Amino acid sequence: MSIEVRIPTILRTYTGGEKAVTGEGATLSEVIEHLESNHPGIKDRLIEGEGLRRFVNVYVNDEDVRFTGGLDTSVSDGDQVVVLPAVAGGS
Amino acid sequence: MLEIGQATYDAIVAHAKKDHPDEACGVVAGPEGSDRPERFIPMVNAARSPTFYEFDPVDLLKLYKEMDARDEEPVIVYHSHTATEAYPSRTDIGLASEPHAHYVLVSTRHHGNSDGPVELRSYRIIDGAVTEEDVSVVKK
């Protein structure tokens, strides 16, 4: 099982500058655990408590996982996971 | 220092005025590593709020895929404050996630949708530290 995980600039400090890394797992949650084993510290930037952080967007094959089951979203060989921090702020 | 073309500067200001009293937001993309803001891309503020802005998650993905395909990065990330000065708020600082970008803030508090000067300032926001920088507007 091989999944491409696209890493945003701000998190590339965890991946040695790599824009994309290979992931493994049957669900998004498993992919993140696998990421964490290779790139310690990255999980905390994605997850807060039991779910994804409010201002982190994750897409599996272009679908926002908030609408496909969140961390339980299934992934399979050849899928692409994209992580993008929200571009947001307030006065 | 941020060097920005007059047309791009004017486009950011016009967008901020048009969307007032809601916050306006967008990016100016440029070739990766060039530090040249070349392609003006106004975004929809999904929050449609006078005190908050957020790119719509679907638009965000489309934008980043497009920049990726063109070997671009967000050289400027801009948004407006509609009742306060053009200085990054605590939320702006906490959520800033583009260490290579110039964060441009426009304040429309004095003239709203009408003509009249606006405050436009630029910052680097890295690991929670804000550094203001000069803005040089060039004719091109």
Name the pLDDT band for A91 (thresholds 50, 70, 90): confident
pLDDT digits (tens, 9 = 90+) for B79-89: 999 999 999 99
CA atoms within 13 A of residue B127's CA, in its CB half-sphere: 1
Domains in chain A: how many in total?
1
Name the pLDDT band for B12 (thresholds 50, 70, 90): very high
Read off the pLDDT of each residue in A55-73 and give the average, rounded to a whole number. Answer: 97
- Does residue A66 lie in a domain region? yes
- Residue B111 φ then ψ, to 5°: -120, -5
Residue A45's CATH number: 3.10.20.30
Question: Mean pLDDT score of chain A, rounded to an integer?
Answer: 96
CA–CA separation, B133 and B122 (whole Å): 6
Name every chain A residue with its beta carbon within 8 A of the beta carbon of B82.
91
- Does residue A28 lie in a domain region? yes
Whether residue A66 has pLDDT greater than 90:
yes
Residues 6+ away with beta carbon under 8 Å from B1: B133, B134, B135, B136
Nearest CA to CA, how far is A91 from chain B (Å)?
A: 5
Residue % of chain B over a pLDDT of 70: 99
Residue type, B28: V
- How many residues are present in chain A? 91
Q: Which of A9, A62, A89 sits opposite B53 (nearest CB)?
A: A89
Structural domain range at position A38: 3-85
pLDDT digits (tens, 9 = 90+) for A33-49: 999 999 999 999 999 99
A9 SS3 class: helix
Contact B98 A88 (CB under 8 A): no
Read off the pLDDT of each residue in B56-73 and give the average, rounded to a whole number. Answer: 97
- Does residue A91 lie in a domain region? no
CA–CA separation, A9 and B96 (whole Å): 12
Query: Comparing C-alpha atoms, which of B3, B70, B69, B81 is closest to residue B36?
Result: B3
Whether residue A1 has pLDDT greater than 60:
no
Residues 6+ away with beta carbon under 8 Å from B113: B17, B18, B20
For A57, the closest chain B residue by CA position comes to B57
Name the pLDDT band for B62 (thresholds 50, 70, 90): very high
Domain ranges of chain B: 2-138
Question: Mean pLDDT score of chain B, rounded to an integer?
Answer: 97
CA–CA separation, A46 and A7 (whole Å): 11
pTM: 0.95
- Does residue A90 lie in a domain region? no
- Does residue A13 lie in a domain region? yes
To which CATH superfamily is domain B2-138 assigned? Cytidine Deaminase, domain 2 (3.40.140.10)
Q: Which two tokens stand for residue B66?
A: 């497009």
Name the pLDDT band for B33 (thresholds 50, 70, 90): very high
- Does residue A56 lie in a domain region? yes
* Count of other CB atoms within 10 angstroms of residue A19: 11
CA–CA separation, A89 and B55 (whole Å): 10
- Does residue A60 lie in a domain region? yes
CA–CA separation, A30 and B123 (whole Å): 38
Q: Which residue has the tokens 């400090």?
A: A13
Q: Which of A8, A85, A89 sits opposite B89 (nearest CB)?
A: A89
Contact B96 A8 (CB under 8 A): no
CA–CA separation, A60 and B114 (whole Å): 43
Name every chain A residue with its beta carbon within 8 A of the beta carbon of B96.
89
